[in-house]
Chain A
Amino acid sequence: MTPPSDDDAFWEEMDEARFRRRRSRPTGRGEGERKRTGQSDAVRPERARLHEGPLSDDDRRRPRRPTVAAQASSPKPAAVDRPSHRGLAVAAGATGLVWLVFMLVRMFAGGPIGLADQGDGRRLICTFNVAASQPWGTETRAYVQPTYHHEQWWGESCGADGSGEPYNSTERWMLNGAKALTSPLGFPGELDLRALGVLCAAFVGLGVAAWVLVLPGRIWHRVAVASLAGLVYADSLIAPWFVSAYSEPAAMVGILFLGPALIWLWRTERTVALKLVLVAVLAMFIAAADVRAVAIVPAVVLGLLWTRSSRRDVPLMLAERPGRGVPRRARLVKGAQRAGERTVHFARTRALALCVVAALVFGSVLYIHAQPKRFAMVQKYDAFFGELLPNSPNGKGDLRSFGLPKSMIKASGTDVDSINAITRTPGFDAWNRKVSMQSIWFVYMRDPFRLVDLGTRGMHAVATGRVNYLGNFTKADGGAYRHDNRVPIFITLFRVSDKFLPLLALLWLLTLGWGWGAAKNRRFSTAEQGVGRFAVVLVFAIATEFWITALTEGSVEYVKHMILTDLLTAFCFPTILALRLAAWRHRDDPARSIS
């Protein structure tokens, strides 16, 4: 068990005070349906409820969580599992520093690595009035071009492709930082993406240090798990993104800090407003990096609501469960009443979290609404002509079901600006009117085998990991389309799973199973249970990120769009390590945990 914080000590005193009050005088609320047991709480202190009111028959049958008094009598963990604050701070600082240096060496020694721009980077970079310092006609996908000189952009040339609508992303904040660091770090040009790489390396160091601070257990346990998390970011799967003009680095950095924030939220018995806000702000930062990153919001909502009651003084006053002789209709009414009371109690005891959730959802909806309209149209076109039709067993039949002419099959496999795209024909308006994302999703719901097929292709995209048509080196440092393999651990593991996809599913299921077991294990400390909850939330985030990416654009740039799913999947490894270490720490407990 972790040392209690000041907040914990305060609330334990409150619980103890209420416990003493209940033992000195009987309490209860009113007559009617709330039945007195006739037994005093002094007879069975371990069954005392943490609210006012006597026990009902139902509660006597149902085992309750041990009270503070009962917990006080359970065996305390050895002092070695509770590192001192100073030792912890030193360990966190040292680990963070080591990973900062490792990231810098890994990304720049022997030539900088990055990710070439296939065109998406312009819409962000142009807002800084800079342009790539490279000759016209350069193969922009073959090489990384990190240096940008001053260049004025005019009209719709800076914005979403094809419409010039403003494009928003929290990545702009990071690029602002990179621009400020370009000159002090000695890089040429007005903005150099290598400065962004340095900034991201610093964030990785800070993130690893945060993991060391919030994880449970001994120092070397924490360092091992946090280092594995750092290795995820140093891997050839993720690190090249940090020297690129894309929006994803902001989401990647945010995810690194979201884990510690969630575990910090769950470490204590009580939810604290500051921690809820921190989680929500981080989630909003991630969601506002890229429209596909909004998919993690449902998982974060789960995490925010999966907190202990923030108000122990709000009693759970349930109506008596009806007995067997009660008519069915009355039983149904009683059941609905109890469900309503539970819901009200849930809302009252998590009002703070619900407010934060509402703000987060509001912000996410606002961000989605602010996205360029062109993007939504392109996504719909890709989902239909890039994914649905090319992989359809009967493309003309699909067109007929949408009320579209069979001649549109000729546009199957095209992009929105292909020479034979239907955007260049008068039929586009009819297509745009008759087809919606919801109607496309309905096709998959109607034929689950197609959904399985889509998911299988998505898993292959996750397992591929690297975007093969984009180079990782500058022109000075390597041949065209040359790829980085300096730290090929996770990318190799993913490639292995590409040959046998069930390995990927197994990883997700193991994370979910062990996480759920840890979250429900009452022998674990709150921090260890928090790691279990994080595992469950992580797998939920993988699922939402995966399916929203698959269903919005499908096979078009599948590997590139699945990078956040890749990152979240790679996080399964340090999470599993943390869970197994927690289980190992409790291996000698008298009552074995269910995990």
Chain B
Amino acid sequence: MRAAVTARTTGASGRLRMYRWAWIAAAAGCFALLTVGCAHRAPVGQPTADAKPGDCHRIPTPEAMVTASDNSPTVPCTAVHNVETYLTFTYHGRYAKRTSRPLPEQLDGDIGQDCVNYDAIRNYLGAGSHDEQWGVSAWHKYPSPSEWAHGVRLIRCDLVPDSGLSGPRITQSLRNILQRKDSARFRLCYRANKPVTCDKPHDTEALAGSPTLAAGQFPDRATLERVAAQACTTPIHDYIAGSLPADFVVKPTLPTADMWTHGDRHVDCGFGPAQTGRLVTGTMRGGLS
């Protein structure tokens, strides 16, 4: 038995026993390090600092769409994409001097609607005074945390078709889209008073630039409709670059008595088929290339 005891404490098994504490600690530490160390970092396609108006991106998933930053590479605007940069600006707000990027929610609260610049959007889309855009939303993208730490403060403002959650589906640039014949998808129309894009069936095509009726007592319904139709005739003729077809009528959106009382006498102009229930698709905008 003494020989057995000696055999167990010497030789290979004995050496293992001598260092067992060391390899136990090393094994557990390596395990922890493996767990910690196998961190995955996604690559960067286009750095935020290189963003400029006219860049098109294909953001492939809804999750990436709502991420605070976007480093996906640019794609040709004739390729399938869902995001087009229309504006960039440098952030000088409350958190600009921080070395680490604040929460995206904090930046949302500070930047607010800075990316929803209607004049810049309409200018980028090539909207005329009577073109009413629809079906395009504005999204902002911030620098990533590492970019922010390196001093990047460029905010990227993107135009996204629909609400942004319908995926990549356009193959054309949005720059001056409203001056082109394939612009129906980005114009405002109505179907049963619900807003739709003009590429879908609708009964009214809307115009921008509401005329204002003359001040005075709030007229009766028939008078209001007649006056509003007269006010919309010239803008409509300018819009379609001609006269309305015989089977089309002016369909203005009238101000209410309450609005009239508060000084709002604007009329939203529109036109559509005279026949009730008849639907059309596309746009009657004239002068498009």
User: What CA separation (Å) do A164 and B144 show in the bound complex?
Assistant: 8
A438 at the interface (CB under 8 A from B): no
Q: Chain A contacts of B36 at CB under 8 A?
A: 168, 366-367, 370
- Known contacts A151-B61, A273-B20, A363-B29; A428/B44 CB under 8 A: no
Closest Cβ–Cβ distance, residue A430 to chain B (whole Å): 12
A288 at the interface (CB under 8 A from B): yes
**B43-61 residues at the A interface, CB under 8 angstroms:** 43-45, 60-61
A363 adjacent to B67 (CB under 8 Å) = no
B214 at the interface (CB under 8 A from A): no
Q: Chain B contacts of A416 at CB under 8 A?
A: 103, 105
**A372-425 residues at the B interface, CB under 8 angstroms:** 377, 416-417, 421, 423-425
User: Which size bracket describes the interface of B in this complex?
Assistant: 35 or more
Q: Chain B contacts of A325 at CB under 8 A?
A: none
- Nearest chain B residue, comparing its CB with the CB of A129: B42
A423 adjacent to B24 (CB under 8 Å) = no
A224 at the interface (CB under 8 A from B): no
B40 adjacent to A362 (CB under 8 Å) = no
User: What CA separation (Å) do A412 and B209 show in the bound complex?
Assistant: 43
Most A CB contacts (10 A, CB to CB) among B28, B61, B67, B68 go to: B28
A352 at the interface (CB under 8 A from B): yes
User: Which size bracket describes the interface of A in this complex?
Assistant: 35 or more
User: What CA separation (Å) do A13 and B1 show in the bound complex?
Assistant: 8
- Nearest chain B residue, comparing its CB with the CB of A17: B1
Cβ contacts A127-162/B at 8 Å (1 or 0 each): 100011001110000000000000111111111001
User: What CA separation (Å) do A165 and B39 show in the bound complex?
Assistant: 9
Q: Which of A119, A154, A280, A358 contacts B42 (CB 8 A)?
A: A154
A352 adjacent to B27 (CB under 8 Å) = no
Question: Total A-B pairs in contact (CB under 8 Å)?
Answer: 164
A155 adjacent to B24 (CB under 8 Å) = no
A276 at the interface (CB under 8 A from B): yes
- Known contacts A137-B166, A424-B108, A428-B106; A156/B144 CB under 8 A: yes
- Nearest chain B residue, comparing its CB with the CB of A151: B60
User: What CA separation (Å) do A379 and B42 show in the bound complex?
Assistant: 25
User: What CA separation (Å) do A284 and B34 show in the bound complex?
Assistant: 11
A27 at the interface (CB under 8 A from B): no
Closest Cβ–Cβ distance, residue A124 to chain B (whole Å): 9
- Known contacts A155-B72, A273-B20; A136/B67 CB under 8 A: no
Cβ contacts A423-464/B at 8 Å (1 or 0 each): 111101000000000000000000000000000000000000
Q: Which of B20, B28, B63 contacts A363 (CB 8 A)?
A: B28
- Nearest chain B residue, comparing its CB with the CB of A415: B105
- Nearest chain A residue, comparing its CB with the CB of B67: A157
B109 adjacent to A425 (CB under 8 Å) = yes
B69 adjacent to A155 (CB under 8 Å) = yes
User: What CA separation (Å) do A280 and B33 show in the bound complex?
Assistant: 15
B192 at the interface (CB under 8 A from A): no
Q: Chain A contacts of B108 at CB under 8 A?
A: 424
A355 at the interface (CB under 8 A from B): yes
A478 at the interface (CB under 8 A from B): no
Q: Chain B contacts of A351 at CB under 8 A?
A: 21
- Nearest chain B residue, comparing its CB with the CB of A128: B40
Closest Cβ–Cβ distance, residue A168 to chain B (whole Å): 6
B94 at the interface (CB under 8 A from A): yes
A67 at the interface (CB under 8 A from B): no
B29 adjacent to A362 (CB under 8 Å) = yes
- Nearest chain A residue, comparing its CB with the CB of B31: A284
B263 at the interface (CB under 8 A from A): no
Q: Which of B4, B29, B35 contacts A10 (CB 8 A)?
A: B4
A157 adjacent to B44 (CB under 8 Å) = no
Cβ contacts B3-30/A at 8 Å (1 or 0 each): 0110010000000010011001101110
A483 at the interface (CB under 8 A from B): no
Q: Chain B contacts of A358 at CB under 8 A?
A: 25
Most B CB contacts (10 A, CB to CB) among A127, A136, A155, A165 go to: A155
A277 adjacent to B43 (CB under 8 Å) = no
- Known contacts A162-B104, A421-B105, A423-B105; A157/B70 CB under 8 A: yes
B8 adjacent to A360 (CB under 8 Å) = no
**Residues of chain A at the chain B interface (Cβ within 8 Å):** 10, 13-14, 17, 119, 122, 126-127, 131-132, 135-137, 151-159, 162-166, 168-170, 172, 273, 276-277, 280-281, 284-285, 288, 351-352, 355-356, 358-360, 362-364, 366-367, 370, 377, 416-417, 421, 423-426, 428
**Residues of chain B at the chain A interface (Cβ within 8 Å):** 1, 4-5, 8, 17, 20-21, 24-25, 27-29, 31-33, 35-36, 38-45, 60-64, 67-73, 94, 103-106, 108-109, 144-145, 165-167
Across the A-B interface, give the 10 residue pairs with the lowest CB-CB distance, nearest first: A155-B71, A359-B28, A363-B32, A424-B109, A166-B39, A136-B167, A423-B105, A127-B40, A157-B64, A158-B42
20 example contacts (A-B, Cβ-Cβ < 8 A) are as follows A126-B63, A137-B62, A153-B61, A153-B64, A154-B64, A156-B42, A156-B71, A157-B70, A159-B42, A162-B104, A164-B145, A168-B39, A276-B24, A352-B21, A355-B24, A359-B27, A362-B28, A363-B35, A370-B39, A428-B105
